[in-house]
Amino acid sequence: MKLFTLFGNPVSHSKSPLIHNSVFNEFGLNYRYTRTHIEDGYQIRDKFFELNLDGANVTVPHKEIAYEICDEVVGIAKKVKAVNTIIRRGSRLIGYNTDAQGFLDSISMFEKIKKVLILGAGGTAKAITSILLENNFDITVINRSQGRLQSFEDLNVKTYTWDDFRVSKVDLVINTTSAGLTDNKLPILKYDTLTEVLKNSRYAVDVIYKTTPFLRLAESLNLKIKDGSEMLIYQGVLANQYFTDFKIHKEKITEVMFKAFYLES
Ligand code: NDP
C-alpha cells in the first residue's frame, strides 16, 4: 500500500482526499490519501517519515515552510518559493508546486488573454504571476498594502496599491485575496473603483472555490467568470501524476477527478 496525505491547517473541509482517492480507486491502485492537520509546518518532515508516506500535498499556511524542509525543489516551485506537493525518493523529499500549472490549465479555455490584473500579493498571487510570466502574459499586481509588493517588483511586474492605481483595459482580472472566503467582502472597499476595473475586463476569476461577492459583481457586469474549483482540480491532476509516476494519462485523471468533484458538490 502507498500512502499520501494533505498537510495543512485547517484540512477538514478539503476535497483533495476525494479527488485523489477517486483516481486510485478507478485504476485499482492500492493507494490511500488522508488528511493530516498540522500546527507547526516544521513538523512536516518528521511526520512524513513517521507516517511512512510516499507523497503529500501541503496547503495553507505551510507551503513556504514546505519549500524549506525539502531536500530538493524542482521546477516553478523554485521561483514561487512555495511547495504544495512532496514526493519521497529513498530518504530524500522532493518538492514541487502544482498550483501554478493548475491555474494555467484552468484558464486554458479563455480566448485571447494577454493583459492580466491580479488582486492580492500573497502566495497564490506569486504562483500565478510566476507561471503567467513564463508564458509571456503582461501582468499587473494590486494589493491593499505595500509590504508584499516588493517581491513582485523584483520580477519586473508593475505593482500598485489601490491609492496609486489608474484603471486601464485588461483581458482578465484575478482575485487572489482571501476576501469572500469566510466573509462577504469585496477585495477593495471602494465599490465604484472595483466596478470600473471589472467594466474594463472580459473575464474574471476567483481562486476561492465558490461564487464570491467579487464574482457576483463581475457576472452582473456581464464578464465571463470562473471560481477556483478548476484550479484545485488541475493542481490535483498534476500532483496525482507525480504520485502515480506519470503512468496514467493526464486526460483520464482529469476526467475522473472532475466527475468525483462535481458529483459531491
Ligand atoms: P496569503 O495569506 O498568502 O495572501 C492573502 C492576500 O490577500 C494578501 O495580498 C492580503 O493583503 C490579501 N487580503 C486578505 N484579506 C483581504 C481583504 N479582506 N481585502 C483585500 N485584500 C485582502 O493567502 P494565499 O495566497 O495563500 O491564499 C489566498 C486565497 O487563495 C485563499 O482564499 C485560498 O483559499 C485560495 N487558494 C486557492 C487555491 C485553489 O486551488 N483554488 C490554491 C491556493 C489558495 P495584505 O498583503 O495587505 O495582507
**What atom in ligand 1 is closest to the CA of residue 185?**
18
Of residues 12 and 265, the one with the higher pLDDT is: 12
From first CA to last CA, the distance across the chain in angstroms is 29
pTM for the whole structure: 0.94
Alpha-carbon span 247 to 170, nearest angstrom: 39
* 199: three-class secondary structure by DSSP: helix
User: Is the CB–ligand 1 distance for residue 60 below 6 Å?
Assistant: yes
Residue-wise pLDDT for 159-175, tens only, equals: 999 999 999 999 999 99
Alpha-carbon span 253 to 234, nearest angstrom: 10
Active-site residue, 63 included: yes
Residue-wise pLDDT for 92-137, tens only, equals: 999 999 999 999 999 999 999 999 999 999 989 999 999 999 999 9
**What atom in ligand 1 is closest to the CA of residue 181?**
32
> What is the pLDDT of the chain when averaged over all its residues?
96
Alpha-carbon span 39 to 238, nearest angstrom: 26
Query: Could you say which DSSP state residue 41 is in?
Result: G
Tell me what percent of the residues of the chain surpass a pLDDT of 70. 100
β-strand pairing of 31-37 with 72-73: unpaired
Residue 55, strand partner residues? 4, 87
Query: Cβ distance 54 to 2 under 8 Å?
Result: yes
User: Is the CB–ligand 1 distance for residue 231 below 6 Å?
Assistant: yes
Query: Could you say which DSSP state residue 162 is in?
Result: T
pLDDT of 231 > 80? The answer is yes
User: Is the CB–ligand 1 distance for residue 99 below 6 Å?
Assistant: yes
Residue 265: the pLDDT is 67
| pLDDT tier at 89, thresholds 50, 70, 90 | very high
pLDDT of 79 > 90? The answer is yes
Alpha-carbon span 124 to 108, nearest angstrom: 18
pLDDT of 51 > 70? The answer is yes
Share in percent of the chain as helix, strand, coil (round to 5): 40, 20, 40
Alpha-carbon span 265 to 263, nearest angstrom: 6
Dist. CA 142 → ligand 1 center (Å): 12
Query: Cβ distance 198 to 165 under 8 Å?
Result: no
**Torsion, CA 224, CA 227, CA 232, CA 238, rounded to 10:** 10
Left, alpha or beta for 90 (phi > 0: left; psi -120 to 50: alpha)?
left
C-alpha cell at 26: 478507478
